Structure 1
């Protein structure tokens, strides 16, 4: 048994090292440098800081006294609200209660050091992020010998749980990602992305899907949906009960969707300009021609919104007044405060990649970056469940999608990091050009619906709200509950959560929220009501997709979304 535990711990260490090596940073020692700087500052602390250390040492002594029975029932640290790592009753046994409290106490002590006046705000923020990463990784719940739940299960199953965990660990190391759900339960086109439709156009960058109407009449002005190119589009079309595309079609909107292609090696030189020219503008051109519409509505999601927003000045310069309205769903144009993801992006990374000129950014690398922002939920939770306990994760469509990543072209991605995250050029009119046109987002004056999610860790809602200070047209801002995905994909059928509305977008973000009205249920209803006046008259639904020029190529969801990243 001891040998097996040692083997498991060694495999776990190898997995952690492998995962760390492929994080998107050119400074792999950055977390260690942060810890070194913190310890150096501690040595230079003032006498009053040492008094806090004395309190820490006293609490450690109290823990020891509690362990040996001299001070029974001592409590010096409790998990934060929502921390489920130590909820099981097995952690209440004296030795494991000591391990738990010692870890929590030490974690708090480390984080407290960062609040020292020795650091500026930017340094303190970075140190806090990497310290939390280190603390999360070192949790006693992540290691077999210090997790009583793992030990108990191993004894009850006579080691079978460990045997199964080792199999799952080796299998995940082979494929290079953590299994978060029972992937055998899902298949794109079979029980995911099954809203009926046809692919009526394709090029080497995207397929265009036209969805089959489900109402006898539809609005004459079509809707083009532009999802993010860093993920597969079917987050918007999971299963019938939670499909945003299914809902949109059911409301009578003539709906088209861009299904981006996962980039292949021969496309390694694609630029942001290509995604505008051969992506957004081309898709809009085809939709207008099929629907015989002068103008169209556009719904964009995440980075898809940045593609649409940067395409609009190019279109305006060419006299292409094609958009009646635009919807930005969890889109960040002002990157003044991009959230914790900024700690993975620096000039060293960007310059190194710019020197490569071309290449492919693996979708799995991008997925790991987003997972690292919520490491306890999206990494260590599965390390414990899958590898230490040998359990199979439950089937969950959203997590299946989360692991079904897409590749990007390196020049396009590097341009994005430099101009949006590092230089924040979208808020600086004419600071860069695309397709030969200086980009000025302040010239955008079409009606715009902006949705953000209150707990979004990828697009902080205050940053999404900042778009109200950039666009000049009639604006509506709506804030949903929950995070980046669960907040956006909130089906009407379940009537969960709530959203906030406030017509006064002249206010600052916090003032807007403080005076906003909370409404129950899904924000989709508010959005569809807003979209109707921009959608034209109702006409008989078309009996078939496409036209004589753009004929159906294959049934939705199409080939591109089914391609797997290896």
Structure 2
């Protein structure tokens, strides 16, 4: 009797309807993904197979690698001229230390092996560039993990520290490990507490729905610029990165300069929110906030600013508003936010059909993705600084590094709904739909070229999440006057760059809609360089695009005091 597949009842998984066979495959992949951190083992196998098959057909490369291996072996067989004296490496403290020739030799062998594997997996004729990058990342991860500097039995600096402390450092390290991995999660800091020492700019929650609380901040000046400022933070982390301590709060700075400031505080979603989609974040997030502000301050256009993921969503909302004739925006500001994802930085290594399939399977088990798993992907790319050095410091040396406010915020992680996160990664990173004019709002696509309000775009020089050259692509997409600022620092520290912060600098250039295109290299040549914070530059930019100041508006009825309730959810 033939097998009747149509008799099988489909299984509903979130918004998808799967056959039992497909649901079984998803469950199996999700189980494996728990062990791999959501990364697809197939992606690694594809890269290795591509490399091996092309290397097998490249006899010249094979001979080259054999000669390189022989040369490296000869160097390792020859003792260095300074063997037996000062160790060539450095201790964790950064000072030279005396050590054994064995450790020196192990470090030389480790570096030589890493260099050989780099040579072996690059420049193989015919190999896909993406696979070369994937292998490079995986090999780098392996060698950083295997470094003798991380091993107590190999590193004389760790051995000496253990002897000097009589092994108490190992006991303290074990306590730190137990606190980090067993029992209830401890607060990141007793010093930086939301609503008590950070996120304390006075304000009120004036609106709440299932996705956002909208905070209006108490004015501190008798008159204000009539156009309010709406901040759309990324929902991948909590909003108060822009309202840390009073000394480095961008929100407080704006209020003190006479701006009426509103900020979205996103909910920390749970598994019950797994079917929330990207358009829900647009409608019930950005547009809901715009509607509330317009009702409270009718007739006043809004300076809207989006940070990272929030900037991408603000761009989507602004393009849809422009398409539909909604002129309630006075300007659009993007902080380290991408609108074109052809050069999106390091995250691209984790984006492919197979990677997203495995990530979807993992999210199906939990209804979403938690912050620790998202952060782990970036940590692996910089494992030496973000994983192994902290590992040695905390668990081997038993040290507890003091946190600053930015580190405490970074540890206050959020989750991502399954459907929204999958849509975002596929439509933006995988297909680049927004820049290509394929992204739909409603039943029609939107185009960033429809945005005609002035744009202020910020990139940061050391940003690995949203590289500044990628952020700069807004100048290719929007047909409006664009002021682009390139600030010192990284994705977070470059944004939290208050006046008086030492070592800060920025470049700025305004490009008119009628000007010929200025490429990134030409921008570097033409942009005016300034020392200090970029915050006053942005504030002046908004003030110049605002009408004459008016009396500060009254605060509307409130649901509760800032920072609200959503930001406190673990």
Q: Could you say which TM-score interval applies, normalised by the shorter chain?
A: 0.7 to 0.9
Could you tell me the TM-score, scaled by structure 1's length?
A: 0.87
- The residue that corresponds to 2:265 in the other structure is 259
Residue 24 (str. 1) matches residue 35 (str. 2):
no
1:305 lines up with 2:311 in the alignment = yes
| Equivalence for 2:79 | 66
Residue of structure 2 in register with 1:145 after alignment: 153
Q: Is the 8 A contact 2:229 2:302 kept in 1?
A: yes
- 8 Å contact 1:222–1:293 — kept in the other structure? no
Partners of 2:130 and 2:349 within 8 A in 1: no
Partner of 2:524: 513
Say yes or no: does 1:376 pair with 2:384.
yes
Match of 1:492, SS state, is: coil
Give the whole-Å Cα distance in 2 for the aligned partners of 1:20 and 1:65.
45
Q: Deviations over 1:202-257 (max 9, x none)?
A: 11101111111222321111000000010001111111222111211121111000
**Worse-matched range after superposition: 258-267 or 493-502:** 493-502
Q: 1:427 to 1:421 in 2, by over 3 A?
A: same
TM-superposed deviation, 1:51: 4.7
1:39 Cα deviation from its structure 2 partner: 6.3
Structure 2 counterparts to residues 485-500 of structure 1, below 5 A: 485-500=492-507
Residue 191 (structure 1) aligned with residue 205 (structure 2):
no
- Match of 1:270? 276
**Contact 2:226 / 2:300 at 8 angstroms: preserved in 1?**
no
Task: Give me the whole-angstrom Cα distance separating, in 2, the residues matched to 1:526 and 1:99.
Answer: 51
Matches of 1:352 and 1:374, distance apart in 2: 23
Residue 120 of structure 1 pairs with residue 128 of structure 2:
yes
Residues in 2 aligned to 1:401 and 1:19: alpha-carbon distance in whole angstroms: 28
**In the alignment, is the contact (CA less than 8 A) between 1:24 and 1:344 conserved in 2?**
no
Structure 1: gaps spanning 5 or more residues: 1-17
CA contact (8 A) 1:182 1:393 kept: no
Aligned-partner Cα distance in 2 for 1:293–1:373: 48
- 1:345-364 pair list within 5 angstroms: 345-351=351-357, 356=364, 359-364=367-372
- State the match for 1:531 in structure 2: 542
The corresponding residue for 1:208 is 214
**Aligned pair partner of 1:442 in 424, 440, 449:** 449
1:411 paired with 2:416, answer: no
| Preserved contact between residue 54 and residue 124 of structure 2 (Cα < 8 Å) | no
Q: Partner of 1:6 in structure 2?
A: none
For 1:13, the equivalent position in structure 2 comes to: none
Identify the residue that residue 239 of structure 2 maps to in structure 1: 233
Query: CA offsets, 1:106-164, max 9 Å, x none?
Result: 22222122222332323222222222222222222222212222211211111111111
| CA displacement at 1:38 relative to structure 2 | 4.9
- What is aligned with 2:29? none
The answer (yes or no) to whether the contact 2:461–2:487 under 8 Å persists in 1 is yes
**What is the aligned partner in structure 2 of residue 219 from structure 1?**
225
**For 1:256, what is the secondary structure of its paired residue?**
strand
When the two structures are aligned, how many residues end up with a matched partner?
531
| Structure 1 CA distance for aligned equivalents of residues 470 and 253 of structure 2 | 28
Question: Aligned partners of 1:519 and 1:270: how far apart in 2?
Answer: 43
Q: 1:358 & 1:24 partners in 2: Cα distance?
A: 12
List aligned pairs for 1:363-402, cutoff 5 A: 363-402=371-410
Residue 437 of structure 1 and its aligned partner are, at CA, apart by 3.6
TM-score (norm 2): 0.86
Structure 1 residue 31 displacement after superposition: 4.5
Deviation at 1:458, TM superposition (A): 0.5
Counterpart-to-counterpart distance in 2, 1:382 and 1:391: 9
Structure 1 pair 290–125 and aligned structure 2 pair: CA distance change class (3 A): same
> What are the superposed Cα offsets for residues 313-342 of structure 1, whole Å, 9 maximum, x if unpaired?
333354421101000110111111111111
